[in-house]
Amino acid sequence: MSLQLGDPAPDFSLLDGAGNTIKLADLRGKRVVLYFYPRDNTPGCTKEACAFRDEYSSFQGKDMVVLGVSTDDAKKHQKFTEKYDLPFPLLCDTDASVATAYESYGLKKFMGKEYMGIKRQTFVIAPDGRIEQIYRKVKPAEHAAQILQDLASPSED
């Protein structure tokens, strides 16, 4: 079964890099951008995080919450956040349970090797807790601007 637009977003409760518990249920009434990324401090993930950082005031202006999710631990998230001055929480999905619930964890191939890991995908969750947008193919440097553009101009299916 695959997540579709309009489906209820899988609920979660995760710690962020600062040790705060972030629960999706507590964010009802706001639009949430939940982006899954493979690893802190890797080239693509750094580009993506910095793009969200650079557009963060635009997301805030639309009353949107940005959350990054990877399997890194709090210590790695804290270093990554400080190094790039990230203004939004990075969540610790160390057992990949949330990534799995969002179909963002699975078999990956890189340089001829196969391994399990987080797939770079993003979900926009509407204020009512339903999935509003799904991005399964993400260009890290352009992704934040793309989301803002898509949400500014509602598309017709």
Q: Is 92 a catalytic residue?
A: no
Strand, helix or coil for residue 92:
strand
CA distance 89 to 112: 33
Of 27, 45, 99, 131, which is the active-site residue?
45
CA distance 30 to 63: 6
What is the arrangement of strands in the sheet containing 131-135, beginning at the earlier edge strand? 21-23, 13-16, 90-92, 64-70, 31-36, 121-125, 131-135
Q: Residue 45 gets which letter from DSSP?
A: H
Give the pairing type, strands 90-92 and 64-70.
parallel
Contact indicator for 31, 125 with CB cutoff of 8 Å: yes
Residues forming the active site: 45
